[in-house]
């Protein structure tokens, strides 16, 4: 019999798990922590708890009554461990989460059908469907080719010859030369990431058969691309990889979610968990950028000359006309000192006269707008209305209008 538990990210829940289930869940948390920085901003690794020796995206605390207090740190998705199914829902309503995800950098360029999802498990299917769409688009445009290094026996000389292996081959009766050379081909890091992600999609029986069939076809087409290497997770695209701008974050997201699949003893665990802060940051930044167009809105850091400190606001408007920062949390009524100090520091560092933070509100704080002034810097706090009865598109339009009006 399948038992189902529903969690909300960052909210502790009391459960009663067996020793084997607990062991499997702890292993999932450690694996996911190691993959939390595969997609999105550096805050993914920090906010999921992926720092330190005991890094884990799942906090587990034993209770005196024999139960456990479990919290999932800034991840959403689903897990199945033996006969136990866990759904981890975002801290904002699913409709708002999926809307912002559809506005993020992982969403397809084409205008897809409206998202109608009512469970965290369907998050995986949506992301993989997007991955397959974008991978097919890249295949149509042509895979990127890069130089790869090879060292092997050949019938003719290419590149440089290694004399000792060549001599040994000749002495053993093989007419061959051992050469080291570079060749321009499709076995590049970015293609290995895409192929590996499509391979994950093709082998997951929980995904619809049509999507899996398309994913298998993509893996076949990329036959000249080799297996994923450990160093590929550190790959950073350049302007030469512009056609991969959508598919690469999707591939990294799928490969990050893969870390939720484990075997602990004789208990198999499989799931799909993704770090949420980078997705929300990207979606909100694109909503605000659309509201302020044609003004330039981007994320950019500033490293101070002395002290080794960097200032990294999530939103830089027109090179420093204003700065903003995104908080993936529900706001209360007043300013908290840490957020106020941070946004004033960001504004001062970039020479901006205005600074603002954007987060989420519900209930009495759904339409909250708190202003303050610190010296020459005017600061304001905006809240996305994340009430359960608020429509996401309406919340986006209200936020966009408030930010646009304030920055006039």
- DSSP annotation string for 49-69: T--STT--SEEEEE-TTS-EE
For residue 35, give the nearest of 232, 185, 191 by alpha carbon: 232
> Does the pLDDT value for residue 94 go beyond 60?
yes
Higher model confidence: residue 56 or residue 330? 330
Residue 261: per-residue pLDDT: 56
- At which residue do the structure tokens 């001062």 appear? 348
Other Cβ atoms closer than 10 A to 265: 9
Lowest mean pLDDT among 123-127, 215-219, 297-301, 355-359: 123-127
d(CA 69, CA 53): 21
For residue 160, give the nearest of 175, 168, 150 by alpha carbon: 150
Distances (CA, A) of 369 to 259, 353, 364: 39, 18, 11
Half-sphere exposure for 400 (CA within 13 Å, toward CB) = 17
Helices 247-257 & 189-203 angle (0-180, nearest 10) = 50
Give per-residue pLDDT as tens, 188-198.
Answer: 999 999 999 99
d(CA 90, CA 72): 10
Name the burial class of residue 3, with classes exposed (0-12), middle (13-18) and buried (19+) by CB atoms within 10 angstroms of its CB: exposed
Give per-residue pLDDT as tens, 334-349.
Answer: 888 999 999 999 999 9
Mean pLDDT of 243-253: 88
> Does the pLDDT value for residue 88 go beyond 60?
yes
Position 120 confidence tier, pLDDT thresholds 50, 70, 90? low
Residue 51: per-residue pLDDT: 38
Question: Which residues are bridge partners to 355 per DSSP?
Answer: 323, 379
Mean pLDDT of 107-128: 58
Mean pLDDT of 124-134: 87
> Does the pLDDT value for residue 258 go beyond 90?
no
Residue 364: per-residue pLDDT: 66
Position 83 confidence tier, pLDDT thresholds 50, 70, 90? confident
Residue 269: per-residue pLDDT: 60
Q: Cβ contacts of residue 252 below 8 Å, gap of 6+? A: 38, 39, 193, 197, 233
Mean pLDDT of the chain: 84
Residue 71's φ and ψ, nearest 5 degrees, are: -135, 135
* Contact (CB, 8 A) for 97 and 388: no
Q: Cβ contacts of residue 216 below 8 Å, gap of 6+? A: 202
């Amino acid at each position: 019999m399948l038992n189902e538990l529903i969690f909300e990210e960052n909210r502790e829940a009391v459960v009663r798990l067996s020793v084997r289930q607990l062991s499997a869940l702890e292993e999932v948390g450690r694996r996911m922590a190691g993959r939390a920085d595969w997609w999105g901003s550096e805050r993914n690794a920090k906010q999921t708890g992926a720092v330190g020796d005991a890094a884990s995206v799942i906090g587990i605390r034993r209770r005196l009554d024999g139960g456990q207090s479990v919290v999932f740190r800034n991840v959403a998705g689903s897990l199945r461990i033996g006969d136990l199914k866990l759904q981890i829902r975002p801290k904002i309503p699913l409709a708002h989460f999926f809307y912002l995800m559809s506005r993020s950098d992982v969403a397809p360029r084409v205008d897809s059908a409206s998202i109608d999802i009512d469970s965290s498990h369907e998050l995986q299917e949506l992301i993989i469907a997007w991955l397959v769409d974008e991978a097919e688009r890249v295949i149509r445009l042509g895979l990127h080719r890069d130089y790869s290094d090879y060292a092997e026996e050949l019938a003719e000389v290419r590149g440089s010859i290694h004399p000792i292996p060549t001599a040994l081959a000749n002495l053993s009766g093989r007419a061959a030369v051992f050469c080291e050379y570079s060749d321009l081909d499709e076995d590049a890091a970015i293609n290995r990431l895409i192929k590996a992600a499509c391979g994950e999609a093709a082998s997951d029986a929980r995904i619809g058969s049509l999507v899996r069939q398309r994913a298998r076809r993509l893996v076949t087409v990329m036959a000249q691309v080799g297996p994923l290497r450990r160093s590929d997770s550190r790959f950073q695209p350049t302007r030469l990889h512009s056609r991969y701008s959508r598919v690469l974050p999707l591939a990294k997201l799928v490969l990050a979610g893969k870390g939720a699949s484990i075997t602990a003893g004789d208990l198999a665990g499989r799931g799909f968990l993704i770090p949420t802060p980078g997705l929300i940051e990207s979606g909100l930044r694109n909503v605000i950028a659309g509201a302020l167009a044609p003004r330039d809105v981007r994320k950019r850091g500033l490293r101070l000359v002395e002290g080794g400190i960097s200032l990294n606001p999530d939103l830089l408007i027109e090179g420093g006309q204003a700065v903003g920062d995104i908080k993936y949390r529900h706001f209360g009524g007043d300013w908290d000192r840490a957020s106020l100090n941070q946004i004033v520091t960001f504004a001062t560092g970039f020479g901006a006269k205005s600074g603002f933070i954007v987060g989420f509100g519900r209930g009495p704080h759904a339409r909250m707008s708190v202003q303050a002034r610190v010296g020459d810097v005017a600061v304001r706090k905006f809240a996305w209305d994340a009430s359960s009865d608020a429509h996401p598109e309406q919340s986006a339009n209200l936020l966009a209008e408030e930010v646009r009006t304030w920055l006039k």
